[in-house]
A and B are shown apart, each in its own frame.
Chain A
Amino acid sequence: MKNILLALNNLRDTPARSLISILLMAFGLGMIGVMRFFSKNVEAQFTSNLRGVDMIVGAKGSPLQLVLCGIYHIDAPTGNIPLREVESLRTNQWVKELIPLSLGDNYMGYRIVGTDSSIYSHYGIEMVKGRPFRKPMQAIISERLARELGISVGQKIEGTHGLTAGGEESHHHPYKITGIFKNTGTVADQLIFTSLESVWEVHHDHGHDHSNEHEDLEITLALIKFTGPMANFTLPRLVNQNSSMQAALPSIEINRVFNLLGIGMEVIRWIAIVLIVLSVAGIVFALFQSLSGRMHELSLLRALGYRPFGIFSIVLSEGLLISLLGGIIGVLLSKTAQYFLASFAAGTFKYRFDYEFGVDDIALLLVSAATGIIASLFPAIRAYSKSVVVTIQKA
């Protein structure tokens, strides 16, 4: 304890030198923290929301846009496709499951998605209150959404046209919330599910009975799961060549995104590593500087009877204090950055990311402690072995 106090006093004696090492450590660790956050949340969201979707069919356009729209709900649709053509795919031997999605409206920025009962197994939806939508203009939402929007079962909401909040006028076609489901941890938690018919009803002139006009009905896209891997070679080609629709393979598109992101991540990773290496060098340098200024003090302690190991632990404490202070500031920095990233994700994409203090942050602190020990080991050994009386008389 006395060693640590003395080390702390020594650090306060040379604040500029200590501060540089502390900040280098803080920024290095902060960047690692943000990177971990990014890969844990963003990559996890990307992979978990794939949920076995092998192919998406939608209007012709950018396949990446189709994937981002249909699976992650962060981009606009490419257009609409005739329901008739989608339905014809159901009979294909390679199609195991087909989930139709119809987009176009939102409530407070949350997308209203017309679909059918296939979403229950796809997203693993379990009702906790009320019941699933059956008739048109009924809708279900997640517990998270119910809480964020302050909606309960039986309440009515009015969607507005477009996919982002504050769009055009409302439709005056209120949806009745009939059920609330348990949070799934997927993108489903931020969607309002209703039947396909509801979306048609909202977007067509009403007063007619549309059920006989099946031929004209359109949806936005459909998620498709294959019966086997061979479908990869045949089904996309079939769709792209023989229909007005395009087929996109999400795993390929997402891979492409990650390859692009990956370069950025790699750069950030290296910057972080360089910062930490600089910080280690900074600590070693600061300790040696401190040592050369204080070698006679350490020798004095030896002359006063202090054990060599005590000298060793004073120097070690100095290094450890620098690195741990850096670690703490680094974690605070990364938490701040994570807070802003999470707010951005929530505001723009309605995704919700956790940024609570967790295992990762403890790991960062451990990393900082370990680097501190490694960095101060050599100076500490030097102090331990060089602190002899000869230095005192030359002081």
Chain B
Amino acid sequence: MKDNSTTLIVQTDALKYAYHHESSFLYRDIHLARNQTLFVLGKSGSGKTTLLNLLAGFLLPQSGSVWIAGENLARMSQAQRDRFRGRNIGIVFQKNIFLSSVTVWQNLQWAAYAAGLPFDKEHAGRLLEQLGIQSKSSKKPHTLSQGEQQRVSIARALVNRPALLMADEPTSALDDENALEVIQLLKNACSSHEAALIVVTHDRRIVSSEDLIYYTTPFQTPSPQ
């Protein structure tokens, strides 16, 4: 653990988060290196999404800390954290959200622009090609099918060559075949970018024996009053 600290992409330490002091989530520590995939499994309400929010820096923990690529998220200002996330963490949201008034290509451009990075056209073009949606690049996102939209989301998440890719319930609306294909897409994309992958899901279909698995359920505890 000490030796591979340079290759560790995600590291958490005694994370705790509480909503309105009613219940709190305690999280077992996570250590995730490059090219590794972690499945976060758990029932609804078990704190899966909260964990994702903590790892992405959308939420700050009551106690404990999160290091992404060696940086402590809590040490940053809000704006710094936004920028850091844009550059180092790619997120595939559960719902496909795009800038609806511009094209797929411009959505990728905006991902780079929002993070304050130059837009790498070749890289973006290759991503669309790998994901099989290069023909859609001048379309408005809402004209695409759900599956195509999800691929655009994945492409956007990878535009800035993040160290960590996170996907929130990416297969919830898909049948078995497509679910496995999407997971394979995500894994391939991560391995070609040497990124770590975290998939938050309750879908056991997509978990294979060699994957790392993280359960959230047993660690939900009532907060001490």
Contact = CB atoms under 8 A, between A and B. Distances in A.
B97 A304 contact: no
A303 interface: yes
Contact of B113 (A2, A10, A308, A389): A2
B8 to A, nearest CB: 22
A300 B98 contact: yes
A2 B83 CA distance: 17
A6 interface: yes
Range, interface on chain B: 20 to 34
Chain B CB within 10 Å — which of A12, A297, A304, A307 has the most?
A304
A370 to B, nearest CB: 26
A297 B99 contact: yes
Contacts of A2: 110, 113
Contacts of A304: 85-86, 110-111, 114-115, 156
A13 B79 CA distance: 29
Contacts of B115: 304-306
A31 B102 CA distance: 36
B101 interface: yes
A202 to B, nearest CB: 74
A301 interface: yes
Contacts of B111: 304
Interface in B78-110: 78-79, 82-87, 91, 93-95, 97-102, 110
A148 to B, nearest CB: 53
B83 A9 contact: no
A303 B102 CA distance: 18
Interface in B151-207: 156
Residues of A in contact with B, size category: 20 to 34
Given A2-B113, A304-B111, A305-B116, A13 B100 contact: yes
Contacts of A300: 93, 97-99
B114 A305 contact: yes
A302 B87 CA distance: 12
Given A388-B58, A389-B58, A302 B101 contact: no
A22 B5 CA distance: 58
B49 interface: yes
B97 A306 contact: no
A392 B93 contact: yes
B101 A306 contact: no
B99 A306 contact: no
B91 A10 contact: no
A302 B99 contact: no
A303 B99 contact: no
A2 B119 CA distance: 13
B141 to A, nearest CB: 10
Given A9-B101, A12-B101, A301 B58 contact: no
B53 interface: yes
Contacts, number: 77
A310 interface: yes
A5 B45 CA distance: 40
B83 A307 contact: yes
Contact of A305 (B87, B93, B95): B87
A212 interface: no
A392 B97 contact: yes
Interface in A261-308: 294, 296-297, 299-308
Interface in A44-72: none
A1 to B, nearest CB: 10
A299 B53 CA distance: 14
Given A303-B58, A304-B115, A297 B86 contact: no
A4 to B, nearest CB: 13
B83 A393 contact: no
Interface string B11-36: 00000000000000000000000000
A297 B156 CA distance: 14
B94 A10 contact: no
Nearest to A306: B114
Contacts of B53: 389
Contacts of A388: 58
B82 A302 contact: yes
Contacts of B59: 389
Specify which of B85, B87, B99 lies most central, judged by the most chain A CB atoms within 10 Å of its CB: B99
A85 to B, nearest CB: 80
A395 B101 CA distance: 17
Contacts of A302: 82
A302 B99 CA distance: 12
A11 B56 CA distance: 32
B97 A296 contact: yes
A301 to B, nearest CB: 5
Contacts of B79: 307-308
Given A9-B101, A300-B97, A300-B98, A305 B83 contact: yes
17 contacts: A9-B99, A10-B101, A13-B100, A13-B101, A297-B98, A297-B99, A299-B97, A300-B99, A304-B156, A305-B84, A306-B82, A306-B86, A306-B115, A307-B79, A308-B78, A389-B56, A395-B95
7 tightest A-B CB contacts, nearest first: A305-B86, A306-B114, A9-B101, A389-B58, A304-B114, A305-B115, A13-B101
Given A296-B97, A310-B114, 4 more contacts: A9-B99, A9-B102, A300-B97, A389-B59
Interface of B: 49, 53, 56, 58-59, 78-79, 82-87, 91, 93-95, 97-102, 110-111, 113-116, 156
